[in-house]
Amino acid sequence: MAKRRQLEAGDTAPNFTLSTQTGDSWELYPSLEDGPVVLFFYPKDDTPVCAAEVCAFRDRHEVFTGRGARVVGVSSDSVSSHQSFANRHDLPYTLLSDLGGEVRALFGVKKSLGFMDGRVTFIVDKGAVVRHVHQAQFGVKGHVESALEVLDGL
């Protein structure tokens, strides 16, 4: 698969379908009918920084839903890994399994430090337009705070 540039605010998000931590199928475009999607790509289940990020989104989940947004996490881990990770951290939102990294590539999320999957959050509005991109490999709470600020303006 050819490498793409990372999507930016104003770009149209590509539609995709992946499996959730429960094994169900989840598709972006139909999900947008209910409101914006906060789509965050993270490197790996069961690592300290990723656990901090998913828990930061969990702790503010009601604020996101109160603003009409759906939170969805994506990594290349398996469905069973996601299921265990979600259960361990009591996650109230969907995790998607992007085993081959195809969706990560569609969004242009690059490796960080040359070897680790990048950590990038996109806000996609009801029209499938990317409204915001936040990229930071560490400072994971910034992903949550910047997403909430942008949702206030939508």
Determine the Cα angle at 23 with ends 21 and 27, to 5°: 85
Specify the 3-state DSSP secondary structure of 120.
strand
- DSSP label at residue 129: B
Which residues make beta-bridge pairs with 121? 40, 134
Q: Which of 38, 50, 72, 120 is catalytic?
A: 50
The rounded distance, in Å, linking the Cα atoms of 100 and 145 is 29
Q: Which of 92, 80, 74, 77 is nearest to 26 (CA)?
A: 74
| Active site annotation includes 55 | no
- DSSP label at residue 20: E
- DSSP label at residue 87: H
Q: Enumerate the active-site residues.
A: 50
